[in-house]
Amino acid sequence: MSFDPHAAEQAAPRHVAIIMDGNNRWAKHHDLKPYAGHRAGVEVIRNVLDEFQKAGVGIVTLFAFSSENWKRPSAEVNALMTLFSNYLDSEIRKLNEDQVRLRFIGRRDRLSNALLKKMDYAEQSTRLNRKTSLNIALDYGGQWDIAESARQLARRVERGELKADDINEQMLADCLSLCNLPDPDLCIRTAGENRISNFMLWQLAYSEFYFSQVLWPDFDATEVRAALKSYAERERRYGGRLTQPENSEGSHFA
């Protein structure tokens, strides 16, 4: 198998996943309470999404609230849930104007009925939009996602629809969140942290990563362009080997 080393330079990533980190630190730096940092972070989403649309990115997935975030102080969790609710109230019109389809991934059994109703309404009212897919991971964890996929296949085995030995990687992938969309080409994490924190563990297997030192509320158009420029300069091999000149010596391992 050969790979074109210039392919990544010819197109923007189809799918960008973002771990939005640094809201609390931003608030501390500005002598504000955590809620102010989270609110500033929500306000950034619109401009960042606009920049990705301009660049031709068709899918954006945001890690908004992880399964582990329930461990935070209840006041902070409640404030985050209020922000999610307010975001849905204020942004649906803009999303429809920009032809953005909004979807949520993650558990729903721990969210309030009021928030669930707003989420359902947002998904239904934007379902026909085709320009951009905006996916928000809410009460989401990559380990949960894989376990849930395994549970779905196990139920099929119990019903006699499938044999355990028939299960393969593709079947597991087909039961994951966003299985009908391509996996992220690029994953961005802000605030200087160099880890993925249980986010889309399966789907990020061959994604490119970009770790920004900038706190999420300060992540602007310049930072978006820097991330896309870095991606464009990468050579994506997917575990393969780049084509070698005929007279080249030695080996080139991925």
Do residues 96 and 125 touch, judged by C-beta distance below 8 A? Answer: yes
> Greatest CA span in the chain, whole angstroms?
66
* Size of the chain in residues: 254
The whole-angstrom separation of Cα 63 and Cα 240 is 29
Q: Write out the catalytic residue numbers.
A: 21, 69
Radius of gyration of the chain (CA): 20
Give the H or E element holding residue 117.
Answer: helix 113-126
The whole-angstrom separation of Cα 26 and Cα 36 is 9
Tokens of 125: 């009212």
Q: In the block, which residue shows the tokens 């900038």?
A: 214
Q: Quick one: CA dihedral 28, 32, 189, 11, positive or negative? A: negative
